[in-house]
Amino acid sequence: MSTKLIVGLDGSGSGDRALAYAKRLSKLIGKCSLELIYVIEWSPYSFQTPEENASRHKRREEEIKTAMERVIQPALDALKADGFTATGRVKHGDAADILNAVAMEEKAEQIVVARSSEGGFTRRIFGSVTANLVMHASVPVTVVG
């Protein structure tokens, strides 16, 4: 059975650094596959107008499609070209929760993420995704600087 690594991408440079490290790790492990995840922050407890609700399903499909095309697919193509085994998915929800849930579901060896890319104020109030993940994850987490 091959080892699985979960890589959190956010469409920015820090996500790329996480991926670069995951690739290095994957080579060291040998028989290893990567699972790329892009999380669209979303809460089922937010407030919306009736019109937003009516077109929500459509918007969700569009959001997933865009994230797949812009973030996940290019990364998967590049990994494939380099000879890595990788799959990817886009999910809605709380990033820390989703990364952990997918890691459990896939029985992953560890989660690789980059250091938080959020600004100071939001992080102070809500805590960063990375910090939440490190504190609550059920599998080891590697945070790339």
Partner 1 sequence: MKNTGFIKAPLLASLFVYPVLFFATLQSAVAQEAGGIDAKVNEIFSLATGWFVNLIFANLPGTSFPWIVLWLVVGATVFTIYFAFIQFRAVGHAISLVKGDYSNPNDAGEVSHFQALATALSGTVGLGNIAGVAVAVSIGGPGATFWMILAGLMGMASKFTECTLGVKYRNEYPDGTVSGGPMYYISKGFAERGLPGGKFLAILFAVFCILGALGGGNMFQANQAHAQLAGIFDDYPGWITGVIFAGVVFAVIVGGIKSIAQVTEKVVPFMGIMYVAAALIIILMNYDKIGWAFGQIFDGAFTGLGVAGGLVGALIQGFKRAAFSNEAGVGSAAIAHSAVQTSEPITEGVVSLLEPFIDTVVICTMTALVIIITGQLTSDPATGMYILGENGQIVTATGASGVGLTSAAFGSAISWFPYVLALAVILFAFSTMISWSYYGLKAWTYLFGEGKTKELIFKVIFCVFVVIGAAANLGPVIDFSDAAIFAMAVVNIIGLYCLMPIVKRELNSYMSRLKSGEIKKFKN
- Residue choice 53, 120, 121, 145 for contact with partner 1 (CB under 8 A): 53
- Pick the closer one to partner 1 by CB: 49 or 83: 49
Per CB under 8 A, 40 contacts partner 1: yes
Residue 49 lies near partner 1 (rule: CB under 8 A): yes
Q: Does 20 bind partner 1 (CB under 8 A)?
A: no
Q: Within 80-99, which residues bind partner 1 (CB under 8 A)? A: 91-93
Concatenating the DSSP letter of every residue in 41-97 gives: E--TT----HHHHHTHHHHHHHHHHHHIIIIIHHHHHHHHHTT-EEEEEEEEE-HHH
| CB of 43 vs partner 1, minimal distance in Å | 9
Rounded to 5 degrees, φ, ψ at 101 are -65, -45
Distances (CA, A) of 134 to 74, 86, 128, 138, 142: 27, 23, 10, 9, 9
Contact 129, 123 (CB under 8 A): no
Query: Is 120 near partner 1 (CB under 8 A)?
Result: no
At residue 5, what is the residue type?
L
Please count the residues of this chain forming the interface with partner 1, following the rule CB under 8 A: 25
| Minimum distance from residue 46 beta carbon to partner 1 (Å) | 7
Question: Which residues in this chain contact partner 1 in the complex, by CB under 8 A?
Answer: 40, 42, 44-58, 60-61, 63-64, 91-93, 101
